[in-house]
């Protein structure tokens, strides 16, 4: 995986060892820690991310969204796992090859069992998609007593 020097110049760092092997195929994705302690994320739309119309494939954008809102959900859960319950995605504009897609996920709410995370994804000042997601908190299984 090669890094994009223009994205690095914006203060982002490439995640060259993603946890999910699928992300190796579709990345690299970039992260930047913000002054408030949360993160912004980015990726550059390449020809490999495009559909036959030469715009970003919706599935690619949703994969990026799922990955980065997961990071916000994990952070809200003290780094412990959570799994996607639902991710409602509204597509608002096409992303084009060469566009830099950026987002800063927002923790909306956290209950004992569910984490709510929203994110808007922009390129060139235009919102490409908006995501509202729910995450199920995964609790460690309690050890069973020996019989």
Rounding to the nearest 10 degrees, give the CA dihedral for residues 67, 69, 74, 77.
-160
Domain annotation covers residue 13: yes
Domain annotation covers residue 147: no
Tell me what the mean pLDDT of segment 50-77 comes to.
93
Q: What percent of the chain has pLDDT over 70?
A: 92
Task: Domain count for the chain, please give it.
Answer: 1
State the greatest distance between any 2 C-alpha atoms of the chain, in Å, as a whole number: 62
pLDDT of residue 79: 80
CA distance 80 to 73: 9
Say what the pTM is: 0.87
Q: What percent of the chain has pLDDT over 90?
A: 65
Residue 133's domain is classified under what CATH number? 3.10.129.10
Question: Exposed/middle/buried for 130, CB within 10 Å: 0-12, 13-18, 19+?
Answer: middle
Q: Output DSSP code: residue 64.
A: H
Confidence of residue 28 (pLDDT cuts 50, 70, 90): confident
pLDDT of residue 34: 93
Domain annotation covers residue 104: yes
Domain annotation covers residue 145: no
Domain annotation covers residue 23: yes
pLDDT of residue 147: 58
**What would the pLDDT profile of 2-17 be if each residue is shown by its tens digit?**
678 888 888 899 875 6
pLDDT of residue 1: 56
Q: Can you give the residue range of the structural domain that contains 64?
A: 5-137
* 30-33 and 39-44 beta bridge pairing: antiparallel
Domain annotation covers residue 88: yes
pLDDT of residue 37: 86
């Amino acid at each position: 995986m090669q890094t994009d020097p223009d994205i690095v110049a914006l203060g982002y760092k490439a995640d060259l060892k993603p946890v999910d092997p699928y992300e190796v195929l579709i990345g690299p994705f970039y992260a930047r820690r913000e002054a408030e302690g949360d993160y912004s994320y980015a990726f550059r739309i390449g020809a490999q991310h495009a559909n036959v119309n030469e715009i970003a494939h919706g599935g690619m954008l949703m994969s990026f969204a799922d990955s980065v809102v997961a990071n916000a959900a994990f952070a809200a859960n003290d780094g412990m796992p959570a799994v996607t319950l639902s991710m409602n995605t509204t597509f608002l504009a096409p992303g084009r090859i060469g566009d830099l897609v950026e987002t800063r996920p927002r923790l909306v709410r956290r209950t004992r069992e569910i984490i709510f995370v929203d994110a808007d994804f922009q390129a060139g000042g235009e919102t490409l998609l908006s995501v509202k997601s729910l995450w199920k908190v995964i609790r460690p299984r309690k050890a069973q007593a020996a019989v």
